[in-house]
């Protein structure tokens, strides 16, 4: 799995990355929990208490307890305030002597494939890329260490974002044993100290849910926007933009692709805090990435195209817009 990916990173003229593995990931142990005793039936709530949210039933509120609508405005304000503070330097590759933007692209493509195989949450992917770019903004690295940096960033991000992150031995397995457990642990300490332990930062995943709801996206529309966002992860040009800007540009382009009459309504200007005019050049760049991906069916970098060609993602990578 990893040795082929590593050879591609160190030799950018090589073919595309092989799948993450030729078989299945190692079987992960299942937790054995005793079944809970059935809860005693509860009497129905009085009629005057059944609708407490101006349209949402009480059981809907309980089912979505994490929506914390009373704090949504404060959370959004804080995300916008902090998003630009911990971004990577968009030109950091100019200071790297042994790696290139192409190698970074190959690494991110491989990580997207690993992320998909292990069914990690979207926040993990976006945080992983953020950690990689911020670390490379501060440290000059050799190409033989680039995959190690990538898998350690994934390990750190998954510990923060996933309920059940992959274990250390699984991380070693991802690299086809190119690195030892000790290598990952040492690099984890190095990365954390280099970044001053500032790990939790706003990423595109934190803005996506609120923006897509304001945009009125159905499930298929969501996948189109996510497809565009993940194509953007591969391109270093996008590092100059804040996460909210990237999400807004992806939604603007998705509205155009799906032929919305009003491409950027006033509600989106208010929610995203970006006008259509300021987003247009980024949307054009995403359009270029989309055209290139669709023309070559992913080409040498197939992880995003393959991921969004799946039926559970409405096969948006194969749609005719």
CATH assignment of the domain containing 252: 1.10.472.10
Is residue 79 a part of any domain in this protein?
A: no
**Alpha-carbon span 238 to 145, nearest angstrom:** 24
Top mean-pLDDT range of 80-94, 122-136, 293-307 = 122-136
Least confident of 125-129, 266-270, 300-304: 300-304
Domain assignment of residue 247, yes or no: yes
Q: Say whether pLDDT at 22 is over 80.
A: no
Does residue 199 sit within a domain?
no
Residues 292 and 224 in one domain: yes
Does pLDDT of 4 surpass 80? no
Same structural domain, 127 and 183 = yes
In sequence order, which residues have a C-beta less than 8 Å from that of residue 293 and are 6 or more positions away? 231, 299, 304, 305, 317
Please give the pLDDT value at position 229.
Answer: 97
Residues 146 and 214 in one domain: no
Looking at residue 23, its pLDDT comes to 46
Where a domain ends, among 172, 194, 216?
A: 194
209 and 115 in a single domain? The answer is: no
One domain, residues 181 and 96:
yes
**Same structural domain, 170 and 107:** yes
Q: Is 156 exposed, middle or buried (0-12, 13-18, 19+ CB in 10 A)?
A: buried
- 31, with CB counted inside 10 A (0-12, 13-18, 19+), is exposed
Domain's final residue, options 141, 165, 194: 194
DSSP 50: S
Q: Are residues 215 and 137 in the same domain?
A: no
Residue 298 burial (C-beta neighbours within 10 Å; 0-12, 13-18, 19+)? buried
- Pair 260, 161 in one domain: no
CA dihedral for 77, 80, 85, 86, sign (positive or negative)? positive
pLDDT at 295: 84
- Kindly state whether residue 45 falls inside one of the protein's structural domains: no
Same domain, 213 and 260: yes
In sequence order, the 6+-apart residues with CB closer than 8 A to the CB of 140 are 95, 96, 97, 98
Question: Looking at the 3D structure of the chain, how many domains does it have?
Answer: 2
- CA-nearest of 134, 271, 136, 126 to 202 is 126
Q: For the ranges 17-26, 117-126, 240-249, which has the lowest average pLDDT?
A: 17-26
**Is residue 158 domain-shared with residue 219, that is, in the same domain?**
no
Give the range of the structural domain holding residue 171, as residue numbers without chain letter.
2-6+85-194
Partnered with residue 51 across adjacent β-strands are 57
* pLDDT (mean) for 117-128: 96
In a domain, 272, yes or no: yes
Torsion of CA 295, 299, 305, 306, to 10 degrees: 130
Q: How confident is the model at residue 111 (pLDDT cuts 50, 70, 90)?
A: very high
Domain membership of residue 51 (yes or no) is no
> If you average pLDDT over residues 267-289, what whole number do you get?
96
Residues 182 and 116 in one domain: yes
Q: Is 57 inside a domain boundary?
A: no
Query: Residue 261: inside a domain, yes or no?
Result: yes
Task: State the chain's mean pLDDT as an integer.
Answer: 84
């Amino acid at each position: 799995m990893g040795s082929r990916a590593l050879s591609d990173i160190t030799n950018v003229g090589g073919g595309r990355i092989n799948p993450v593995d030729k078989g299945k990931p190692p079987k992960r142990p299942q937790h054995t929990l005793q079944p809970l005793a059935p809860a005693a039936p509860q009497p129905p709530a009085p009629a005057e208490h059944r609708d407490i949210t101006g349209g949402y039933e009480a059981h809907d509120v309980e089912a979505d307890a994490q929506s914390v609508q009373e704090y949504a405005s404060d959370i959004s304000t804080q995300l916008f305030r902090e998003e630009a503070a911990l971004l990577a330097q968009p030109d950091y590759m100019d200071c790297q002597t042994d790696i290139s933007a192409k190698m970074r692209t190959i690494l991110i493509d491989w990580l997207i494939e690993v992320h998909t195989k292990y069914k990690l949450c979207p926040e993990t992917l976006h945080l992983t890329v953020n950690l990689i770019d911020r670390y490379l903004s501060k440290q000059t690295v050799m190409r033989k260490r680039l995959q190690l940096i990538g898998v350690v960033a994934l390990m750190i991000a998954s510990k923060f974002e996933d309920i059940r992150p992959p274990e250390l031995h699984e991380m070693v397995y991802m690299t086809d044993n190119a690195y030892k457990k000790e290598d990952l642990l040492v690099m984890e300490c190095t990365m954390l100290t280099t970044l001053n332990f500032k790990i939790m930062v706003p990423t595109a995943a934190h803005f996506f849910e609120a923006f897509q709801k304001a945009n009125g996206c159905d499930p298929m529309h969501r996948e189109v926007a996510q497809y565009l966002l993940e194509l953007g992860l591969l391109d270093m040009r996008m590092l100059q933009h804040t996460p909210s800007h990237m999400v807004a540009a992806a939604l603007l382009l998705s509205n155009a692709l799906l032929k919305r009459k009003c491409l950027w309504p006033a509600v989106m200007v208010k929610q995203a805090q970006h006008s259509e005019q300021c987003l247009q050049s980024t949307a054009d760049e995403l359009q270029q990435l989309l055209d290139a991906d669709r023309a070559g069916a992913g080409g040498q970098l197939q992880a995003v195209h393959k991921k969004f060609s799946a039926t559970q993602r409405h096969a948006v990578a194969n749609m005719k817009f």
